[in-house]
Chain A
Amino acid sequence: MTSDDAPPPQNDGWLVCLDDYVEGALSGQEMDAFEDELFARAAGARRDEDTAFFDAMARNAAWLARHAFGFRGGSTRQEVEALMASGRRRVHLMDLGAPGPKQLSAWPEGTQIVVTRVGVDLRGTTDVQVDVSFDGQTPIKTFRDCEYDPTDGALYAVCHEPLARLAFGQPRVVAQVTAVRAGQREVVGVYDARRGAP
């Protein structure tokens, strides 16, 4: 490793080194050299973007783990009920019901967690994913490996309010739920939600 201020230090090799270092996978000699480089980069002319990313990601992941984020693609009804009953967070449950056109109403001021219930029945399926667009055509995002409730087959998506605001604050949001049943991917339901008063 070399310490050089000139090139931007963003590269996969350095990111991998950071991870190996924190994990303890470097030998004593490698560790000494890494630490020299780590601080040389911190003192360099350019901000060490990789180390800043790594640091922020580790802190933010730990914060999310302590604040109702399960690192899963959905929750169960029992988990949502427990979260709401705990009273530790101000939770708003938005039940979209069965697929079809929907009119979205805003949640109360001060909401911290928004739980979106997608009322499809996914029991007996695997590889559930939700494709979202703002116009029904141009894909924006795909939620992969979504987890559904084993008792009612519905999706319970839990997220922090600012993220929900970005997603549902748009004039129109179209979400298509697909899953694999008997080896074939099929469309389970399509939601066409528009913002407005109920």
Chain B
Amino acid sequence: MANWGPMPATAATVPTDAREPSVADLAARAAAGDREAESVLCRRFLPAVRTFARRRLRAADAVEEFTQDVLLVLIEALRRGAVEDPPRLGGFVLGICRNVAHDRVRQRERREALWQRYGTAWESLQDRMPADDDVPGYDIIHLEDCLSRLSQRARDVVRLAYAEAKSHREIAERLATSETNARVLRHRTLIALRGCISERMSWEKAAA
């Protein structure tokens, strides 16, 4: 039957107050058994941890696995009350990242045990990408809309840089340009995309 209804709202469509509880407060609450605070705290670090991982790992699956490793260790530390200086939690999480990166083999074994004990906590973060048969969320559709407004060259940069994780050098070769130009094009495209993503979709603005 006809399907002209509006898209379902997602968290990304709802403006949120950028100011949230401090990590020190969240850490204290998490240590006291507040699972919601623990979840909020973990979410706060997800982008940074993934960025750290992306620097070292190319494959999207490997980035996700690394992120899981780090967050599982963090959840364990929070529940053990092992975060001694909550205001410095950022450095604490960075330390976890570096340790995980330094010894993946040892971590791989430990991961299995942690997964058994704390896997459900990770599952509850619900930060997965849509499965093949799922309807893509607002964020994905928004990016698709923004990409269609870019030039073909800029779309190529996004595909090569972020979907295929190519280096400046590889992108330069594919686009028949210099490495310096590839880097500039990549940065300009990134900034243009952020500008587009920070606004509502063109269709929504016009229909409002």
Contacts and interface: CB of A to CB of B under 8 A. Distances in A.
Interface of A: 3, 8, 12, 15-16, 18-25, 31, 35-36, 38-65, 67, 69, 71-73, 88, 105-109, 111-112, 133-134, 138, 140-145, 147, 159-163, 165-167, 169-170, 195
B45 A39 contact: yes
Given A49-B18, A64-B144, A134-B206, A41 B48 contact: yes
A47 B20 contact: yes
B90 A42 contact: yes
B176 interface: no
Given A18-B51, A35-B94, A46-B19, A73 B46 contact: no
What are the 7 tightest A-B residue pairs by CB atom distance, in nearest-first order? A43-B90, A106-B2, A65-B163, A39-B90, A55-B47, A145-B152, A42-B48
Given A69-B144, A106-B3, A39 B183 contact: no
B85 to A, nearest CB: 11
22 contacts: A3-B90, A12-B187, A12-B191, A15-B191, A39-B48, A44-B90, A47-B18, A55-B46, A55-B51, A57-B193, A60-B140, A60-B143, A61-B163, A65-B159, A69-B144, A69-B147, A73-B155, A88-B132, A106-B2, A140-B206, A162-B7, A162-B141
Contacts of A51: 47-48, 51
B135 to A, nearest CB: 6
A145 B44 contact: no
A143 B155 CA distance: 12
A182 B90 CA distance: 59
A86 B1 CA distance: 24
A23 B24 CA distance: 32
Contact of B190 (A15, A107, A170): A15
Contacts of A108: 1, 3
Given A45-B19, A57-B162, A73-B155, A50 B194 contact: yes
Interface stretch (B28-36, B104-112, B116-124, B195-203): B195-203
B60 interface: yes
Interface string B151-171: 111011011011110011000
Given A15-B194, A16-B187, A71-B156, A48 B48 contact: yes
Given A51-B48, A57-B162, A64-B143, A161 B89 contact: no
A188 to B, nearest CB: 18
A42 B56 CA distance: 19
Nearest to B127: A59
Interface string B33-71: 000000000001111101110110000100000000000
